[in-house]
Amino acid sequence: MEFEELKELVQANAQTIDSLAFELRSVTLALSEVTQLQKQAIEERAELRKATIGIAKLVTFLENDCTAMNRQLDRIEDKLDSFLNRKEK
């Protein structure tokens, strides 16, 4: 192999190495972005889980509260009916 051929081969190899290094940096950056998005998704999933648990607790409280309020309203209605019946007599 002549000197010029070796020189061209070395230059071609250097360009290939530069291209591979650029691709490696691009892949590393993309992987870093994916990792960051994955961490963000995990955090958001945890927040969603907390919100879901909070909503479930609220619904349970409201269901219990509605039952208690309905009982109280029934008592008030009974007292009002009783009062009105006494007034009519």
Helix H, strand E, coil C: the string for 44-70 is HHHHHHHHHHHHHHHHHHHHHHHHHHH
pLDDT of 89 strictly over 70: no
Rounded to an integer, what distance in angstroms lies between the CA atom of residue 18 and that of residue 28?
A: 15
What is the tally of helices (H) and strands (E) in the chain? 1, 0
Half-sphere exposure of 83 (CA within 13 A, CB side): 6
**What residues contact residue 9 under an 8 Å CB cut-off, 6+ apart?**
1
40-84 pLDDT tens trace: 999 999 999 999 999 999 999 988 888 888 999 999 999 998 988
Stated pTM of the model: 0.56
* Residue labelled with tokens 């927040």: 47
